């Protein structure tokens, strides 16, 4: 079994480097070690730590509606349907196997509580607030996140905390932060995994992946009032409600195991190549964009350090 060294940088707070779908996928085929001097670095979008690893092969994992900058990363995996030589894979990195299994094994059961809403912010689109407020005209929607919280405190920060909260509800609001073709995050999948009927807004082509008979697509309604009437109808008709729960989660034409295989093949392709062939970006003085990017990268890196330092000082002062 080949030994490889990897690291994960610029991920969200609480990200577990040794227990995530990429690490678990790789260790099936390789002897994987987390290293401060890695051969391969998997990068997210929440920082600039990646600039310290320019000798490593950098793979950007995009979970937001953002196009990759191939002057900074050797490879990228994201939502956009683009082609860039052998350096890009269109794939939803938020298709976590655990959530998929929960969604596929959901129980067709009517819950006691009405509707769940869990978000940390209302950035970009106002749809989250609009749907929340419109359904509140009918019955109270319980908001367990920081945004529009109305239950007296926030639920836990983990995905399991979110699932445990949402699984008590008949409906789960699943809103993206914006509507863009083929941009769909974990929101809908986690709503399915919770066992209720998702109320979704976002990707106009979401039906390519998910069965349109298994969830409420806000885009199917002319306005919020029509949406509310549909929810009222299902809330008061157990037979119609159960019809949604008994539908398959995924579209018949979408096979997530086949998609997962594409992801595995892409990573294996990168790792199987010699370093000189696999390394695409050489951020040195000879690299043609070096002088353009260096001042911006350095400033962002310093700015990030200052923000972290301010956060630590605040925590100390609160003690």
Backbone angles phi, psi at 96, to 5 degrees: -85, 135
Domain covering 3-95+257-283: architecture: 3-Layer(aba) Sandwich (3.40)
The DSSP letter of residue 12 is P
- The mean per-residue pLDDT over the stretch 110-120 comes to 95
Q: How far apart are CA 97 and CA 84, in angstroms?
A: 27
Residue 258 binned pLDDT confidence (cut-offs 50, 70, 90): confident
Q: Do the two domains 3-95+257-283 and 107-245 of this chain adopt the same fold?
A: yes
pLDDT for 169 beyond 70 = yes
pLDDT in tens, 268-292: 999 999 999 999 987 655 555 555 5
User: CATH homologous superfamily for 107-245?
Assistant: Glycosyl transferase family 10, C-terminal domain (3.40.50.11660)
Q: What is the mean pLDDT of the chain?
A: 89
Distance in angstroms (rounded) separating the CA atoms of residues 291 and 156: 44
Confidence check: pLDDT of 314 > 70: yes
Pairwise CA distance, residues 39 & 29, whole Å? 16
Statement: residue 296 has pLDDT above 70:
no
**What is the pTM assigned to this prediction?**
0.82
Strand-pairing partners, residue 41, are 7, 58
Q: Is the pLDDT of residue 174 over 60?
A: yes
3-state SS class at 115: strand
């Amino acid at each position: 079994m080949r030994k490889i060294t990897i690291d994960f940088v610029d991920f969200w707070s609480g990200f577990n480097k040794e227990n995530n779908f990429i690490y678990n996928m790789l260790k099936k085929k390789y002897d994987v070690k987390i290293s401060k001097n890695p051969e391969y670095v998997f990068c997210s979008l929440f920082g600039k730590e990646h600039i310290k690893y320019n000798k490593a092969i950098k793979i950007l994992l995009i979970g937001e509606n953002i196009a990759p900058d191939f002057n900074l990363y050797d490879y990228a995996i994201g939502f956009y349907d683009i082609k860039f030589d052998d350096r890009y894979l269109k794939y939803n990195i938020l298709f976590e196997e655990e959530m998929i299994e929960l969604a596929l094994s959901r129980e067709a059961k009517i819950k006691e509580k009405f509707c769940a809403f869990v978000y940390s912010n209302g950035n970009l689109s106002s749809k989250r607030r609009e749907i929340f407020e419109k359904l509140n005209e009918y019955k109270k929607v319980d908001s367990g996140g920081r945004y529009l919280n109305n239950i007296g405190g926030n639920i836990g920060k983990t995905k399991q905390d979110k699932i445990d909260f949402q699984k008590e509800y008949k409906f789960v609001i699943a809103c993206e932060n914006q509507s863009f073709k083929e941009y769909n995050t974990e929101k809908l999948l986690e709503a399915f995994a919770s066992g209720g009927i998702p109320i979704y807004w976002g990707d106009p082509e979401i039906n390519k992946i998910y069965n349109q008979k298994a969830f409420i697509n806000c885009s199917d309604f002319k306005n919020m009032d029509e949406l509310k009437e549909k929810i009222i109808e299902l809330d008061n008709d157990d037979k119609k409600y159960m019809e949604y729960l008994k539908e398959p989660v995924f579209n018949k034409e979408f096979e997530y195991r086949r998609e997962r295989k594409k992801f595995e093949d892409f990573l294996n392709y990168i790792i199987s190549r010699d370093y000189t062939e696999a390394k695409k970006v050489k951020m040195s003085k000879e690299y043609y964009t070096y002088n353009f990017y260096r001042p911006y990268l350095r400033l962002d890196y310093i700015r990030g350090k200052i923000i972290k330092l301010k956060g630590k000082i605040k925590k100390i002062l609160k003690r």
